[in-house]
A and B are shown apart, each in its own frame.
Chain A
Amino acid sequence: ETGVTQSPTHLIKTRGQQVTLRCSSQSGHNTVSWYQQALGQGPQFIFQYYREEENGRGNFPPRFSGLQFPNYSSELNVNALELDDSALYLCASRTGGASSYEQYFGPGTRLTVT
């Protein structure tokens, strides 16, 4: 069974640039969520994708957007990067059932905005 993988592991961008982060979900999982973890804090929910549609969103502006592909992999796009976007970005996958709560996380992508 393949776990959740993310790429790249580290990324350095300049304020105002755009970035794309990638995630492959765990085998058998059709639901992918993205979380932002700032230093010293817990992960914060950005959004979730199920069957290629966004079906939930946290308190993040529209410049945070995403995609899910037919193989359930996903992308997180952030436009007009700000210094406060520097964080660890975590992808998590799970099965899509209403009784499915456990999410399985990838190792994350460390984004630094200068």
Chain B
Amino acid sequence: DQQVKQNSPSLSVQEGRISILNCDYTNSMFDYFLWYKKYPAEGPTFLISISSIKDKNEDGRFTVFLNKSAKHLSLHIVPSQPGDSAVYFCAASAYNNAGNMLTFGGGTRLMVKP
């Protein structure tokens, strides 16, 4: 049972344009959502997060939108840069006995072309 899904395995975008990465979840108990970026041979790097009480969080070129009714979140990167090329993971958390464990999606590979 995959509780967090990223349905697009890859995305190709031209430098300077907007990149939109999508994520869907099924567990209504999730109360915090995070995006991580991963380069080859490195661990995932925290990018941006959003609490379930908000619908938008912005940090520089990165904005995360949360639609609770649709159980959907998206990451917008604008403008996209070649250095943004990486695998992006959506993750969700629900405070329970496991203490804020993260449930990850399968990832989306973003390629930003110069």
Contacts and interface: CB of A to CB of B under 8 A. Distances in A.
Interface string A93-110: 010101011111111100
A101 B106 contact: no
B55 to A, nearest CB: 17
Contacts of B101: 33, 45, 48, 56, 58
A60 to B, nearest CB: 12
B46 A55 contact: no
A43 B44 contact: yes
Interface residues of B, number: 28
Given A4-B43, A48-B99, A42 B104 contact: yes
Interface string B85-114: 000010101011111111111110000000
A31 B98 CA distance: 11
Contacts of B98: 45, 48, 55-58
B27 interface: no
Contacts of A108: 42-43
A76 interface: no
Contacts of B107: 41-42
A94 B93 CA distance: 14
B43 A44 contact: no
A102 B96 CA distance: 15
Contacts of B103: 45
B113 to A, nearest CB: 23
Nearest to B43: A105
Given A100-B100, A101-B32, A102-B46, 6 more contacts: A43-B44, A43-B104, A48-B99, A55-B98, A102-B49, A104-B46
